[in-house]
A and B are shown apart, each in its own frame.
Chain A
Amino acid sequence: MEKCVNGYFFAYFICYLAYFLFFVLLSDASCVFQLATMTSEITEKDKVIQDGSNAEGTVVKDADTSESKASPGTLTETGRSTGTTGRGLSRLLPSWMRRSKHSSKPETVPLTKEQPGSTEDVAEDAVLLKTDGPDDVSAGEKAEKEKCARVDLPGAAPVKSKVEEPPTMGGEGSEQDSKDTEKTASHSSETRIQKRGSWREYKLWGRKTKEKDKEKNEDKEETTEEKPALEAKMDVQEVGKEEKRAQGLDLRKLIDDDLIEIIDDVSDSEEKPGEQERDEDKGIKDQVNPTGEKEASEHAKEETEQPAEKEQAGDATSGQGVEAREPTPAETPKGKQDEGSTAEQKKEGKEKQMPGRVARSVSRRSRHVSCKVALLDGTSFECLLEKNACGQALFDLVCQHVNILEKDYFGLLHKDEAGHKNWLDPAKEVKKQLLNPPWLFSFNVKFYPLDPAQLTENLTRYLLCLQLRDDVTRGRLPCSFVTLALLASYTLQAELGDWSPQEFEGNYATAFRLAPNQTHELEERAMELHRTHRGQKPAEADFHFLENAKKLSMYGVDLHHAKDSEGTDIMLGVCANGLLVYRDRLRINRFAWPKILKISYRRSHFYIKIRPGEFEHVESTIGFKLPSHRAAKRLWKVCVEHHTFFRMVEPEKIPRGRLLSLGSRFRFSGRTQAQTREASARIDRPAPLVRRASARVQPSMAGSTVRTYTAMSSDGGAATASRAFNTARAAQAPAMPTSDGEDDVFLTPPLPRRSGPGEGKATSEDQTDSSKTDSSSSDSESGAEHEPPRVQMRNIEGENIYIRHSKLMLEGLDKTDEDMARRKDSLSQLKRSFMEDTLPPRPNEWDKRLSVGSPGRPSPRISMHGSPLQSPLNFSFREAPEGAGQSGNGEAMTTEALTVTYQAPQADSEDGEPDVLMSAQTITSESVSSTTTTHITKTVKGGFSETRIQKKIVISGDSDTDHDQALVQALHEATVQHPGMAITRVVVHKETDVPASD
């Protein structure tokens, strides 16, 4: 009998070992990020460990051994070597043994610890068992037998009862104590423990119950053990049912998220056994004073940790189960759901029991949590976020508020308790990433573009500037006095405009925070330089600011404190090109991304595996010690993200679908730089207004100001369509449309329709979009057919050249007033956006690319759509005469412009209450001699929705073309195309280029 018992226990032991190994593997893997270009075997690590030796940093072996000495939870060395055998063993075990392995867990856990343990308790248990030797084994076994005898007594009581049960065991300060007193503990505590054991068993083995049922008959002795487990499960299911119903679809999502979290957090939980113990000790002490509330909250706290960890265990072990037995597909999701429901239930329970966290529970009732995001310009943005929302949802809200399209360079930071800043993972739920109720974030630049000039929008550049100004003043971006002064002067120029002796007196620079230690000398110098920037537009000043800032050595370097193998304090800097190692501001090493094969972290160590170079032939692994596990994880994440963003074409797919997957599921979920550049090349909206901190008086907008956007074509069709513009005063002369001009035709529906709730909605936007595209393309095609072949220098005959869409604020009608107000705001921004000047002519990246893509294509032209509102501002196109010698020199031409406006009497959008823009889209199509820009805006005004179609037809050609006829034809076509709509306004703008004299 004794032998049998011993064998039994041995089986436990082996299995524990196997589990632990498994977790070690998991945690190991959880942090390995395989750089895309190379081979990926976790097992390879072992190899590396042997041959890994490098001048810099820790050699892994050292690190490992030191670790295993240091922390009790380490079994790594042995773990690894026997890992496979351990698992193999479990497969080979006879079925009863396998089962006993399962059932063993709940019993042995309370054996060593009163508190419901987590997986790392399991791991610790394993270690303890190992070190304590056979003496303890028998003792523990005895206790276990006792428990077995009492198993059936308690029955399945409601979960709550166990929380409310009076504390019965006092004074156990340590695990050892608890172990010793275990045998003498009172009956009720035994009960509790046992129940928890069952609970745990359920949690862990919920998916296995069927198997167990089958096996029940095989070994009757152990059915007693199983019963409570099953009962507990039933109980849980019952309680969980309601929840399930209530939660509905959320459940599924929750499960998924949980799983992700789990995999990621395996090593988290492994991290600080010491801390955990302390917590638990505290918990036990708390139990001594029978203040039910406190105890409850303690329990609640523990329980919140429990589900995740349990699930993780469940997940892991079911993974093992896969090896032993293939689960039927029907079974698996059910198990998952159960898990989910219990997890949810636990959480609910937690909420109820937490009087301290009022804010959270209040927000729960409203299903929304208020978030506050500090923006770069010093303002903050507050919003209500659904409590289950992912990071992305919040980020999108913020981006919408900031009105930024090139958002991939940005991210949300939140501070954890220790004051460390973490990036909000857009793919994960916000609430999973921060615990404390005030959800505070800051909107920051996450990836500093290597070449800010390649950003499409000035607004993006402006935000980057704000970030860099902050970096400079906070000392994150060190720069010399000269550079400081120069950057400061650009800041002054951007914020204050041109220097003038009247406006700027005294030390006006003091008002700005320009440097970490701002001195008078610096201000003087900055103001001196400010005078030299005369004439620079704010956007230009920003541009120059960035051009100077990007050259600084610490531009875009994210620094992390670390120690090298010798314990020297160093800094690890993650940047676009790779990983930099600093010691006291001096760069002592650098690992470019291509040199790195693999990055990983384990506990507080961070490892990089280096590709063998020219001179060394073995892969070497270099280890760094970080202050904490979290720091290591943070660094690892930042590395993964930077590598993906800057070096990959598209992000790696997140491994999914497998129950058991080694390695973290964390991947960079955003767009890579390549993708974001592509996307921002497609941005086609009027430059959004950049609202500067010091709002300057905008130059008054004269009604007759016409901005002429010049489309220039360079020779050979290489498009250098650039945004040169002339601000020309157009004479509002009552002239007839004559030759060589351009025609603006505005179409408005005759009667505004009543706006229904679902009208003009985003659902159909895409369709509308494409259909419009079609119509406009056919439009231009037909236009090309109708028009007699004109003398053109373009090389391809009439067909669609390209069509671009832009969606501006495609919104639903079910918006709050607040949203409307914001819309309005952004609308006026749009309106004024043209006051914000663009940069001097410079080849547009996307046009370059486009032209490379299709060499035979005639030069694309800038498509400008007018302001969404019919404002006195007219945007006109000027066709520069095509031919050689034209490129890049638009200003040399003088322009005679003539604008004629016809307006239908009834259409009056200018006065009355202001419109609210619901949606706007612009479609541009081009044919040989004409460019048609269709701009469709949907607005709501006084309860009426109005669809306004604005067509701009630019007809270009030599003076001998009959523009009158072309205009008539265009008008006719437009009316035919949009039956039921009336023309309310016709603006004819004629421009003739007069070559500059001399």
Chain B
Amino acid sequence: MNNQLALALTFVKPAVPHQPVPADDSFPDSVFVEDLAVVCGDTVLVTRPSALSRRGEVSAILPVLEELKLRIVEMKDETAMLEGGDVLFTGREFFVGLSQRTNQRGAEILADTFKDFAVSTVPGNGSLHLKSFCSMGGPDLLVIGSSEHAQKALRTMQQLTDHHYDKLTVPDDCAANCLFVRPGGKGHALVLRSAEDYPESIKAFEKLKDYTLIPTSMSELNKVNGMLTCCSILVNRKLDV
């Protein structure tokens, strides 16, 4: 009932295939469901994407979330902006990248929703999402790109945290966006960009011990600057279906 279990709760995020969201052609960015909601524990914060065109997506995803029996918190504040792509949950705390699509108020609401965790803000990455150059590659393992702004953000995060995270630096920023899963609750698996996309970065990932690497080609999405995690919302729920 203590540490171990708590860790398990936060980290065992089985790759529940997100439920299919009804296709709707009016939402061009609708594959990027990540931006729409932040799930932690059994609470989900439904975000307010900055682009008006995406607000409608939120209402589309709500029924799915309800089905998962999550406590749903919606952002009501008109001034708040938050996109899930700017929210990095490390298992111990949140980092929120303040970008053109996420503002201070949005981060505040996130902090209000998940009061148990420290929410730290990582300033200014321009138009980029925080998670476009970093992600969690496992418990306490931060995968980070090697570009200047990625490294700067890393330093900020290191400064802001009370915890120690291992870091894995990969040559390509985009490759740093990977998806850590534990199929069946055991073993470490990493869904990452395929070798065709980023041949250098995959070498860095291969240094990880005891990891199952699942390369995924995302050449189509890449055209619209899509990231791997963008297409998923991680939910820690058993699927009753």
Contacts and interface: CB of A to CB of B under 8 A. Distances in A.
Interface of A: 478-483, 544, 547-548, 551-553, 577, 583-590, 615
A184 B93 CA distance: 71
A588 B120 contact: yes
Interface of B: 1-3, 6, 41-43, 71, 93, 96, 104, 107-108, 111-121, 155, 159-162
A553 B117 contact: yes
14 contacts: A480-B41, A480-B43, A480-B115, A547-B3, A553-B93, A583-B104, A584-B111, A586-B111, A586-B120, A586-B121, A587-B121, A587-B160, A588-B120, A589-B159
A540 B231 CA distance: 43
B160 A590 contact: yes
Given A547-B1, A586-B119, A588-B120, A577 B104 contact: no
Contact of B2 (A547, A552, A586, A588): A547
A544 B1 contact: yes
B118 A587 contact: yes
Contacts of A584: 104, 108, 111
A911 to B, nearest CB: 45
B160 A553 contact: no
B80 to A, nearest CB: 12
B108 A586 contact: yes
| Chain A interface main SS type | mixed
B6 A553 contact: no
Contacts of B113: 480
B159 A590 contact: yes
A590 B162 contact: yes
Contacts of B43: 480-482
A577 B119 contact: no
A588 B161 CA distance: 10
A480 B70 CA distance: 14
Nearest to A587: B120
Contact of B115 (A478, A544, A577, A590): A478
Nearest to B155: A615
A587 B161 CA distance: 9
Contacts of B115: 478-480, 483, 552-553
A838 B1 CA distance: 17
Contact of A577 (B6, B42, B162): B162
B161 A590 contact: yes
| Chain B interface main SS type | mixed
A577 B159 CA distance: 12
Contact of B104 (A483, A586, A615): A586
A589 B160 contact: yes
Contacts of A615: 155
Nearest to A614: B155
- Which 3 pairs from chain A and chain B are nearest by CB? A553-B118, A587-B120, A478-B115
B107 A586 contact: yes
A588 B159 CA distance: 10
Contact of B6 (A551, A583, A588): A551
A585 B121 contact: no
A551 B116 contact: yes
A617 to B, nearest CB: 15
B179 to A, nearest CB: 25
Contacts of A479: 115-116
Given A547-B2, A587-B120, 20 more contacts: A478-B115, A479-B115, A480-B41, A480-B43, A483-B115, A544-B1, A551-B6, A551-B116, A552-B115, A552-B116, A584-B104, A584-B108, A584-B111, A585-B112, A586-B108, A587-B118, A588-B160, A589-B159, A590-B120, A590-B160
A547 B42 CA distance: 20
Contacts of A588: 120-121, 160
Contacts of B120: 586-588, 590
Contacts of B6: 548, 551
Contacts of B2: 544, 547
A65 B96 CA distance: 36
Contacts of B93: 553
Contacts of B161: 590
B41 A585 contact: no
Contacts of A589: 159-160
A480 B114 contact: yes
Contacts of A547: 1-3
B121 A483 contact: no
Contact of A585 (B3, B71, B108, B162): B108
Contacts of B118: 553, 587
A551 B162 CA distance: 11
A116 to B, nearest CB: 51
A585 B119 contact: yes
Given A552-B116, A585-B111, A586-B119, A482 B41 contact: yes
Contacts of A548: 6
A866 B42 CA distance: 49
A482 B117 CA distance: 12
Contacts of B111: 584-586
Nearest to A581: B160
Contact of B42 (A478, A482, A544, A586): A482
A587 B117 CA distance: 11
Nearest to B121: A586
A481 B160 contact: no
A615 B116 CA distance: 32
A987 to B, nearest CB: 39
A484 to B, nearest CB: 9
B155 A480 contact: no
A710 B142 CA distance: 45
B184 to A, nearest CB: 25
Interface centre among A552, A577, A588, A615 (most CB of B within 10 A): A588
